[in-house]
Amino acid sequence: MRIRTHANPFHYYQREERLDLTAIFPTFSGTLDVECGFGTGGFMQHYMAGHPDRFMLGFEIRQPAVALLQERIPDEMKSRVYLHNGTAEIGIEDMLPDQSIDRVFVFHPDPWFKKSHHKRRLIKPAFLKMLTQKIKPGGRLYVSTDVEDLWVYMRQSLDASPLHEIEDPDFWRDYYLTPWQQFSVRDSRNSYRGVFELS
Ligand SMILES: C[S@@+](CC[C@H](N)C(=O)[O-])C[C@H]1O[C@@H](n2cnc3c(N)ncnc32)[C@H](O)[C@@H]1O
């Protein structure tokens, strides 16, 4: 089995330029979703195929994953999907205006098990504070993991944020299909997931 260490998001420090959404999405409808850490992009392709009216900005710190997905995205989807090689934290904060995001997806973020590495976790109070400025009122955050300790940590951060939990069973049934989630099911791991809305 190939073991890989996680890429440290703190190695990325370069600030980003503000995006002109109408320039990157020529037919932009104003409905913007964001996926943080899309990996091989299985979820993004499936979700966007089912939502022809939505636009997606994806962040991923592994450059080869970005290049691979860029190649794989079907042509008809290319004008609605924009991929960025960099951290979701810096990208969302710098590239997007306040109250611009409809949905944020964070599926199976790196767990960073050691306590001294918890600051590298994506879902944490500082990230949620920034995110709640960038999400529209009524916007949502979809989160999943198979690591109980990480789920407890993320829940504590979410419970202390202005986001509140809602149900969206149709989403999990119809669209939640990520490579890591499929591996997790095959490996009989636990599944923790939730949807959190900004009122
Ligand atoms: C365990 S994988 C999960 C991939 C995919 N979401 C899935 O469910 O199959 C976590 C992914 O997040 C990426 N990643 C980790 N930290 C990140 C960050 N701060 N910003 C963007 N991507 C990140 C990693 O490179 C990796 O591809």
CATH of the domain at 34: 3.40.50.150
C-alpha span between 89 and 59 (Å, rounded): 9
* Of 23, 21, 19, 78, the residue nearest 52 (C-alpha): 78
Q: Percent of the chain beyond pLDDT 70? A: 97
Please identify every residue annotated as catalytic. Answer: 110
The answer for 20, left when phi > 0, alpha when psi is -120 to 50, beta otherwise, is: beta
If you average pLDDT over every residue of the chain, what do you get? Answer: 94
Residue nearest (by alpha carbon) to ligand 1 atom 12: 37
Domain interval for residue 82: 19-198
Strands 135-145 and 55-60: unpaired
Lining residues, ligand 1, CB within 6 Å: 7, 9, 36-39, 59-62, 65, 87-89, 107-110, 122, 178-181
Q: What mean pLDDT comes out for the span 62-74?
A: 96
Rounded to two decimals, what is the model's pTM?
0.95
Domain for residue 7, yes or no?
no
> Hunting for tokens 């951290």 — which residue is that?
87
Per-residue confidence (pLDDT) for residue 88, from 0 to 100: 98
**Counted domains in the chain:** 1
